[in-house]
Amino acid sequence: MTEALLTPRVDVRRAADRGTTTLSWLDSHHSFSFGRHYDPTNTHHGVLLVNNDDVVHPGAGFETHPHRDMEIVTWVLSGSLVHQDSTGHAGVIYPGLAQRMSAGTGILHSEKNDSVRRWVDGALAGSRAGRLQGERHTEPVHVVQMWVVPDESGVEPGYEQREIDAELLPGALVPVASGMKGHGESAVRIRNRHAALHAARLEPGGSVRLPDAPYAHLFIARGEVELEDAGPLAAGDAVRLTGVGGQRVMATGSAEVLVWEMHAGLAG
C-alpha cells in the first residue's frame, strides 16, 4: 500500500454507467471491474476493490463458492440473507446488522434468500433472526457487498457480526466495519488498519460530513442527496474522492449512504 502525493479529485460515477449482471435470480450492479466486466482503468479506489449492489430474488442466491485473502463486508438494505460458511458460521443478515467475513487462507460460503428458512442459530444470528426461524420469505433481498484487501495475506479465516441498528437512529455516520483505531465497539473489525466503512440513514434535510482522508468512497445506497461542491446524487451513484475530504452530504428525501474512509491505497 502507498500514500504518495495525491492530486485532489472528486470523481462522480453515475448508477447507469455501472457494469450489470442480470440472471434469472440476480440483478447485480458493479461499481468496479467484476467478473466479465473488466476495465483496467476501473479496478479499485484506495483499498476498495468491489462495491456490488445486488438484488437477490426469493428462493435463490449464491451457491457455495470460495474466497481467499479478502475482507468482505455485507450490508443489507432490505430483506434478509442467509449465510453459511466452511468455518461453521451460520446466520441471517438483515438491515442494521454489520457483518464481516475474512477469507484469509481460504473459505467457502453461500448466501441465499431462502423461501423458507430451514435453519437459524439464534446465538449466532441474534434474537430477531432466531424469531424468524421457519418463517416464509417471499421478497427480494437488496444488499451491498464490499471487498477490501487485508493488511497481510495467509491469515486464519474469520467471521463477525454485530447489530448496530440503534446507533443509526440519530442520523450520524456510524462505523460499520473498521480496522482503524478509535472506533470502539460500534463496528465489526476488518484486517486493514487503514480503512473503515461508515453508514448513515438520513431523514429529509439531514446531513453528515465526509471523513477527511486521502481516499474516500461515497455510495448512495437509497434515496437522493446533495454533495457539497458536486451537486445531486441518486441511488446507485458513487463518488470517489482523492486528496480531499470534509464535504457535507445532505439528504433531499430519506436516504442511506455508505462511506469508505481509507488512509492508504494499493501499491503499484
Tens of pLDDT, residues 62-117: 888 888 999 999 999 999 998 888 888 888 899 999 999 999 999 898 898 964 44
pLDDT at residue 139 in the model: 86
Find the helix or strand (DSSP H, E) in which 177 lies: strand 174-178
Is the residue at 207 inside a domain? yes
Alpha carbons within 13 angstroms on the beta-carbon side of residue 176 total: 29
Output the average pLDDT for the chain: 89
- For 169, other C-beta atoms within 10 Å of its C-beta total 10
3-state DSSP assignment of residue 122: helix
Is the residue at 2 inside a domain? no
Find the helix or strand (DSSP H, E) in which 127 lies: helix 127-131
Q: Which residue has the higher pLDDT, 141 or 187?
A: 141
Look up residue 262 and give its three cell numbers. 481509507
3-state DSSP assignment of residue 240: strand
Is the residue at 268 inside a domain? no
Is the residue at 1 inside a domain? no
Look up residue 79 and give its three cell numbers. 430483506
Is the residue at 229 inside a domain? yes
User: What is the dihedral angle through the alpha carbons of 132, 136, 140, 141, rounded to the nearest 10 degrees?
Assistant: 20
Contact between 227 and 216 under an 8 Å Cβ cutoff? The reply is no
* Range in 15-24, 125-134, 160-169, 230-239 the model is least confident about: 125-134
Report the alpha-carbon distance of residue 89 to residue 74 in Å, rounded: 15
Is the residue at 3 inside a domain? no
Q: The domain spanning residue 244 has which CATH number? A: 2.60.120.10
Q: What is the pLDDT of residues 155-199, one digit of tens each?
A: 999 999 999 999 999 999 999 999 998 876 668 999 999 999 999
- Reported confidence tier of residue 122, pLDDT bands at 50, 70, 90: very low
Containing domain of residue 35, as a range? 9-262
Percent share of the chain, pLDDT over 70: 88
Total tally of structural domains belonging to the chain: 1
